[in-house]
Amino acid sequence: MALPSSRWRNAAWQGSLTAAGWGFVGAGAVVLLAAQLLGRRDLLHLSVFFLLVPAAAWIANRLFRPGLMVDRGSDPPVVQAGHDAEVRLAVRHAGVLVGRLTMAEHLPASLGAGPDFAYPGRYVSDDGASRYRYQLSCPRRGLYVLGPVEARSTDVFGLAEQRTRIDAGTRLTVTPAPVPLAASVLSGLRGIEGSIATRMQANPSEDDVMTREYRHGDPMRRVHWAATARHGQLMVRQEESATSPEATIILDLRREAFPIATGRPAPPGEWAPGPPEFEWAVTAAMSVAAHLADLDYTLRLLDADGSLALSHSPSSPEPDSPDYTGRTGLAVVAAGLAAILPRSNEAQAHSPAFHAPGHSTRNGEGFGDLLLDRIEAHRLRGPLVAILGRTSAQDARVLAPAAESTERALALVVSDRPGASRAAVQTLRSAGWLAVEATARTRVDAAWLALTEEGTPW
């Protein structure tokens, strides 16, 4: 595994005396005072010795500062929440090493304490790099900064030290972990059997979908004799256009849908998750995406305003992609969900979706025409799964007609308290949706299974 390179760091050293060094200074001061009081020249010489030794050590550390470089990488480079990663470090230096050099890896508090290690290490490769490795537990999704490595150089007597941060750190992406979902909820849809033919006809009757009038040049082997007898004219089987089934996932990113208490901002390198309800929604979105990808669906992820949901994620490797296919596409979705958070009203107001000609979103909030138009553009090509936060009945009435454009419409509505979105769920059910309300304590797989029961999963 190739590790990213870092720059040599030579000018950021900060020097100071150690406790032992300050002990020498204190002893020198005491002996100097005694020499003055007692008039002893030998004590004066001793005090000068006590004061010069830490000064010489400090100067030596300043003169012999090695240039250091660290390479860091993780295996795997993208980690799933709840799993461990192996972090590998390769440290090398330029210049002369004088005294002892120790190092410490700094980690975000939620990932635990970083390891300390001596340099040079026990294992030195042919290129002169000391190599280290440690296991890192990743309990929850997010973007984290591993590092920097802080080097501490001391003289041979341990009287003075120099500290520096070698690198700026390396970003680690931790994706949400999917929950296995029951296949029975989507039973009967064409995606269950993988990629099959899609009939591109407007008339819903089976004869018209499967057959059409005979045209000059059509091979006789395609004549549909039963339909010919019923219609009284020669009919042939309609050509089929093989397309992959498509699924649309709506991930609600409205700030007002996920109330959050104000608090202190996260320290640098630390990940600040969203409210519990939003974390539940992200896990549900990851689970649904993995479930649909296993059924060979092409995935589209939209925000409640109709914009591409992953375009708002700082961790998305393909933020402008309209759809994602196969295992590679699912990996891109997982990476995009790693750092996604609810959008503020200000961010929503500046979103291009709110200013698209001919589209409204009811004063810049909630669901709107752009979302419905994008769902209609992929009419009857697969299911629609909406994962929503707290939703009003008015918002639900705007979204409800989308059920007519899909093979099956499903909604998971997560609220901070039971019954907060009951009216919205009832509105969606009345329009043909399979909808349930959940809380952050509800198991995602239980909420998914409750869609077919139209009950509450708590």
pLDDT digits (tens, 9 = 90+) for 429-449: 999 999 999 999 999 999 999
425 within a domain of the structure (yes/no):
yes
- CA 166 to each of CA 72, 147, 159, 173, 198: distance values in angstroms, whole numbers, following the listed order: 11, 9, 22, 22, 58
* Domain range for 132: 14-175
Report d(CA 360, CA 357) in Å as an integer: 8
Pairing of strands 130-138, 100-105: unpaired
Residue 114 pairs in a beta bridge with none
Residues 250 and 133 in one domain: no
142 within a domain of the structure (yes/no):
yes
Residue 362 is predicted with a pLDDT of 39
A 10 A CB-CB count for 116 gives 11
pLDDT over 50 at 300, yes or no: yes
Can you tell me which residue has the tokens 């299974």?
449
Residue 355 is predicted with a pLDDT of 35
340 within a domain of the structure (yes/no):
yes
Can you tell me which residue has the tokens 């939003």?
278
Residues 121 and 83 in one domain: yes
Give the residue-averaged pLDDT of 294-314.
94
Number of structural domains (the chain) is: 3
Structure tokens at 163: 């500290």
Sign of CA dihedral 418, 421, 425, 430: positive
Residue 442 is predicted with a pLDDT of 96
CATH assignment of the domain containing 39: 2.60.40.10
Residues 151 and 210 in one domain: no
Residues 135 and 211 in one domain: no
91 within a domain of the structure (yes/no):
yes
CATH assignment of the domain containing 430: 3.40.50
Give the residue-averaged pLDDT of 306-332.
94
Structure tokens at 317: 């490797």
Report d(CA 439, CA 55) in Å as an integer: 64
Residue 135 pairs in a beta bridge with 86
- Helix ranges (H only) for 272-322 are 276-294
The residue among 213, 239, 265 that closes a domain is 239
Kindly tell me the burial class for residue 270, based on how many C-beta atoms sit within 10 Å of its own C-beta (0-12, 13-18, 19 or more): middle
Residues 264 and 376 in one domain: yes
28 within a domain of the structure (yes/no):
yes
3-state secondary structure of 449: helix
Give the residue-averaged pLDDT of 409-430.
95
Report d(CA 13, CA 418) in Å as an integer: 56
Residue 14 is predicted with a pLDDT of 75
Residues 233 and 250 in one domain: no
pLDDT, tens only, 365-417: 568 888 999 999 888 889 999 999 999 999 999 999 999 999 899 999 999 99
Indicate the range of 168-172, 258-262, 416-420 predicted with least confidence: 258-262
The residue among 224, 239, 254 that closes a domain is 239
Residues 348 and 401 in one domain: yes
